[in-house]
Structure formats: C-alpha cells, structure tokens
Amino acid sequence: MKPNLAFAISNGEPQYLEKSKHEYTNEDKKKENLDNVARDILYKTLDKKIFSKIKTCATAKDIWETLTQICEGNDETKENKLTVAQQKYESMKMKDGETMTEFDERFSAVVIDLTSLGKEYSNRELALKVMRALPREWDVKTMAMRESKDLNKLELHDLFANLKAYEFELETRSEAGPQHLNQPKNWRQQHLNSALQALAR
C-alpha cells in the first residue's frame, strides 16, 4: 500500500486549515481526496457480505478498524486464539508414518498462527522444539546437529531442509535393504535405525 494511503487509514480523514479553493497548493489538492481514494481501494477488495458490515463507516480509518475487528476479533478472542495456538505448539509431535514434509507443514502453520497473534520464538527455540518433537529414532541426528550447528542462526526452513535431506538418505538406504517376505514386520524400522547410526558417525 502506498505510504499516503496508509497514512489516511491510520490517522482517519485528513484535517486541513481553512483555505479557499484558489489557495490550494498542488499538495493540498492531492490530499483533498486522499480518504476517498483509500476508501475506494478498500471497497474494491471486499465481497458483498463484508461490505454490508462496513458500508456505514465514514472514513478509511473506520473501515480498517472494523475489518480488523471482523478478521482478528477483540482482545479476548485474540487471547483465546493465542492460548489454543500455544497449546498446539507445546503438544506438537511428529506422527507415526508422517513424512518430514508433512510435519514441516503442520509445524510451520502453527508458528505462522502464533506470529500473527504476536507470539514469536527465536531460531534456537524453534529448532529445539522441532528436535524434541521428533521420534526417538532421530535422537542421534538431532544430537549431532546440536553439536555442529549454531542454533541461534539456524532458520526454520534450513532446519527442515536438512532433516528432509537426511530423511531422503535414510529412505534410500532402507530401500536398498532386504526385500523378501520372510523378513520380520519391523525390518524396515530396524534398517532405518541402523542407517541412522551409520549416518550419524
């Protein structure tokens, strides 16, 4: 959004000193219809259902505040949303059979929700949370990463990229293992564990 339009939305309808039209400078002329322009832009982005809720607003600022209230709710609603999002974050665990890509999507969605509600975590906090959320079979890998990586500088997307690459290598190694039907049901997990031990050396 252009700076002058943002100004109109943030500060309400522009106020001017009394001037006759012939005294207007070029800047005055630009500002005269600023609120109207801002309102027009907002109107064009709304569907009929939302428009009906803001059509009585007098200024762009009023429209913006009403839209914020509709989309984000009041303080109590925001607090409830934050509580729910934090509970999801704290209880987050990688599910059985879930790929790292799927876990990345679930975890990142919760982090985005928390950020939008004003709660942010450092790179280190996010990295440690992800590592603790992984199954025990990943302990060797996560311990190695803690020792070799600066978690304060490790971005979340880089962390998951590393884990996905590692998962891919594990899958490649496991697929190269025994395939015949006489193998025990948990042979694949056993092979993954062996691959984890080998890769972490």
- Same domain? For 171 and 83 the reply is yes
Give the domain extent around 24. Answer: 3-72
Each residue's pLDDT, cut to its tens digit, for the chain (201 residues) gives 555 655 555 665 555 445 666 677 777 667 667 878 888 888 888 888 888 888 888 888 888 888 877 776 667 778 888 999 999 999 999 999 999 999 999 999 999 999 988 899 999 999 999 999 999 999 999 999 999 999 999 999 999 999 999 999 888 877 766 554 444 545 455 555 555 555 554
Nearest C-alpha neighbor of 200 from the set 154, 149, 156, 143: 143
Question: Which of residues 72, 104, 122 is at a domain's end?
Answer: 72
- Same domain? For 12 and 49 the reply is yes
- Which burial class, exposed, middle or buried, applies to 83 when counting CB atoms under 10 A from its CB (0-12, 13-18, 19+)? exposed
- Same domain? For 64 and 107 the reply is no
- Same domain? For 103 and 127 the reply is yes
> DSSP label at 138?
G
pTM above 0.75, yes or no: no
As for how many domains the chain has, the answer is 2
How far is residue 139's CA from residue 200's CA, in Å, rounded to a whole number?
10
